[in-house]
Amino acid sequence: MENKFPILETDRLVLREITPEDAENIFTYLSDKEVMKYYGLAPFQSVDEALDEIAWYQSIRENNTGIRWGITLKGKGEVIGSCGFLNIVSQHFRSDIGFELSKDYWGQGIAQESIEAVIKYGFEQLNLQRIQALIEPPNEASQKLVERQGFIKEGLLRNYEFTSGKFDNLYMYSLLKEDFEN
């Protein structure tokens, strides 16, 4: 992976590196119960947890297992959400994709515009062959988001994660490079 953080630009957005200075803004949405409902983490209770999350974004990039972009509106610096790759398995050319957006910005196609750029980067620059999305069945907005990008629902992974004291089933969605190219 190249050293300089790749900034991605779309019609309305700039996707950029997240730094500790963004902690307050990230805390705003990662402490929101609705945003965190199907996230696999409890809503954050302090800005320190946001700083830990940012440190994690930096560490996955350093060890080449992921990259996370901060979503900003053009002309405004503030991070309103994030998206990117995690659990990259380079020998298998595959990765999971993750995303979330501050509630104030839902329903405007911003997540769509962001992940479209991220997916393109994944196939063209990271040379991925397969991008996976693992989504809880009641998380309809996320399923709609990936289905609009052409992801295929492959099946239900039963009791796949243990979070907040319970086991969760997760749908496994995937998009292949060949689906993206055609």
Ligand X SMILES: CC(C)(COP(=O)(O)OP(=O)(O)OC[C@H]1O[C@@H](n2cnc3c(N)ncnc32)[C@H](O)[C@@H]1OP(=O)(O)O)[C@@H](O)C(=O)NCCC(=O)NCCS
Q: In which residue are the tokens 């055609």 written?
A: 182
CB of 62 to ligand X, least distance (A): 24
Could you tell me the CA-to-CA distances from 122 to 24, 55, 110, 117, 173 in Å, in that order? 28, 22, 18, 9, 16
CB of 9 to ligand X, least distance (A): 16
What is the amino acid identity at position 42?
A
Of residues 36 through 95, those in contact with ligand X by CB under 6 A are 38-39
CB of 140 to ligand X, least distance (A): 8
Q: How do strand 130-135 and strand 94-101 relate by DSSP bridges?
A: parallel
Residue 1 vs 73, nearer CB to ligand X: 73
User: Is residue 135 part of the contact set for ligand X (CB under 6 A)?
Assistant: yes
Residue 54 vs 134, nearer CB to ligand X: 134
User: Is residue 141 part of the contact set for ligand X (CB under 6 A)?
Assistant: yes
Strand partners, 174: 132, 152
What is the amino acid identity at position 132?
Q
CB of 104 to ligand X, least distance (A): 10
User: Is residue 137 part of the contact set for ligand X (CB under 6 A)?
Assistant: no
User: Is residue 156 part of the contact set for ligand X (CB under 6 A)?
Assistant: no
Site size with ligand X, rule: CB under 6 A: 19
Residue 95 vs 142, nearer CB to ligand X: 142
CA dist., res. 139 & res. 32, Å (int): 16
**CA count, 13 A, side-chain hemisphere, 28:** 13
CB of 116 to ligand X, least distance (A): 9
Residue 62 vs 78, nearer CB to ligand X: 78
User: Is residue 8 part of the contact set for ligand X (CB under 6 A)?
Assistant: no
Tokens representing 124?
């063209």
Give the residues lining the site for ligand X (CB under 6 A): 35, 38-39, 99-101, 106-112, 135, 139, 141-142, 144-145
